[in-house]
Amino acid sequence: MASARDWVTVNKDSMSFISRVIRYLFWLLVLSWSVALLRRLVAWMLRGATPAASPQGVHVAGSSEAVGMARRLVRDPVCGAHVAEVLAIPLREGGDVLHFCSIACRDEYLRTNADKNTKKIAATG
């Protein structure tokens, strides 16, 4: 009979060990999912709280709608760089709006095209 009691004791010890391991894995899973959810929540809050910065304090029309959405890329006619439309420096030429990656590229474009008799206006939105 002593061997049967030993077997029951060993069986209880092994079951308690297995239950501890399962409990540990369960809480580890819950903790990892909680951390991932918290990271996504914080990233979502930060993305919505910081709108895209406009160069030189110029307000870009529609920039509040552009936050969180896919942005359109425009090409700088001087250097060929691709820039997000909300971050580009616009220049209205005739009926067209040109977008530049920097003020230097915009000024270079104005210098090279100064001989034309067209009125060029810096577009603000």
| pLDDT, tens only, 47-98 | 876 555 544 544 445 545 545 555 789 999 999 899 998 889 998 887 888 9
Whose CA is closest to 48, among 17, 69, 27?
A: 69
pLDDT for position 114: 74
The model's pLDDT over 96-120, given as tens digits with 9 standing for 90+, comes to: 889 999 999 999 988 888 766 555 5
Residue 35 confidence (pLDDT) above 70: yes
Output the DSSP codes for 52-112: PPPGGGPPPTTHHHHTTSPPPEEE-TTT--EEETTTSEEEEETTEEEEESSHHHHHHHHHH
**Contact, 97 vs 91, CB < 8 A?**
yes
15 or 99: which leads in pLDDT? 99
Contacts 24+ apart (CB under 8 A), 68-71: none
Domain boundaries, the chain: 1-50, 55-121
Overall average pLDDT of the 20-43 stretch: 95
